[in-house]
Homo-oligomer: A and B are copies of this chain.
């Protein structure tokens, strides 16, 4: 029984209760959202220490942090440090994208300690193992790919990225056009390479019912990957990308028909003036399935600042209806992130998510800012710091920049506008000045 099947039967699960409490929403709203597929609660039956969160329409925008080894950095302990950094920074979910070292061990250790939902991209492990076993990713068999999915589902992975929409028809669309950066999704590239080499359809599409069956047994939420996502602004919102999105809309309906929870992944590199259209298109084509975007990055030229390019696009996307932001770190396009990058990436995405939640009227979002404004007016520094999205950083900056510990901050000092207005105008005008 998945959360969706339970919800459709009119039953409220413990997981839905926890989501309702966290979101301060009526239980019935959560149940109805899960039943209709506009909300997912990634919660694998085998992820025992999970504190579930809901993702989707009407809920707070959530943030995912990608961690995981690479061939150059296979050290498990370093990834566990990054896991701690992501969770302490407030990530709602983490994805283990490892491709180096002992993949099974790291995934299991992450699941053992993470109360946040854990996602993976099983085709990564399948590709790594195919290389070891057959000498090439091309050597991977469909059964081997499904065996990895089954193993990861059995371990307790809450959601998996599956690039079911990278079909022969979509690759044909891609052939009818040009792109600068081609396919930049790793999973999409593995599958497209495999398909074109063998001249065979994508097994995740061809055997989608087999995938749905596995997902249903463990209640793994499918995150339908966008293998054709644009890798640069010039490739954004092209025919190949939207063709894949159409296919993903069909996959969403088939997942819902089987009681399998599913969301849709989205771009990527998108110019600011196309971000809203991308969200509206997904919501329409995919029948309001939760939308999980990577960024979007609103320019290609800012390596070192891609947490910022993504915060811009993410805020705009989430305000327009995107539900789940995959963080991007300052290290994007330059190398595997370290723990500080992870922290900065999560914080930037949380800023974007919260700014969007205010804009879309998520209950509670506005109140947080009101409290901060009142604390600022009162020059109540302890309250400002405790209300800050990153209290530790706020405290450190304040201490470093105000060694004398004066009441005002050191930008204006005795010329503090808030203080002056109070001094000159007295209390009777305090409500307006």
Q: Could you tell me which A residues sit within 8 Å of B by CB distance?
A: 70-73, 99-100, 124, 127-128, 137-138, 174-175, 177-186, 188-190, 192-193, 196-197, 231-235, 240, 271-273, 298-305, 307-309, 311-312, 315-316, 319, 330-338, 347-348, 351-352, 354-356, 358-360, 366, 368-370, 372-374, 376-377, 384, 387-390, 393-394, 397-398, 400-402, 404, 406, 409-418, 420-421, 423-425, 429-433
Contacts and interface: CB of A to CB of B under 8 A. Distances in A.
A101 to B, nearest CB: 12
Given A334-B398, A433-B182, A272 B356 contact: yes
Nearest to A313: B355
> Taking the full assembly, how many copies of this chain does it contain?
2
A417 B72 contact: no
Contacts of A309: 351, 355
A299 B231 contact: no
Given A355-B298, A358-B271, A409-B334, A189 B417 contact: yes
Contact of A394 (B186, B303, B397): B303
B186 A421 contact: no
A312 to B, nearest CB: 5
A372 to B, nearest CB: 4
A432 B397 contact: no
A72 B316 contact: no
Contacts of A400: 335
Contacts of A233: 358, 366, 369-370, 373
8 contacts: A71-B415, A181-B377, A193-B425, A240-B432, A299-B354, A305-B348, A305-B390, A305-B393
Contacts of A418: 181-182, 184, 189, 231
Given A180-B374, A319-B273, A335 B304 contact: no
Residue from A100, A303, A348, A372 having most chain B Cβ neighbours under 10 A:
A303
Contacts of A316: 272, 312, 316
Contacts of A190: 415, 420
Contact of A431 (B178, B272, B373, B431): B178
Given A180-B374, A335-B401, A138 B432 contact: no
A424 to B, nearest CB: 4
Given A71-B414, A334-B409, A388-B304, A432 B182 contact: yes
A197 B424 CA distance: 7
A183 B394 CA distance: 23
Given A184-B418, A188-B417, A412-B70, A196 B302 contact: no
Contact of A376 (B240, B300, B330, B374): B300
A72 B331 contact: no
Contacts of A402: 72, 334-335
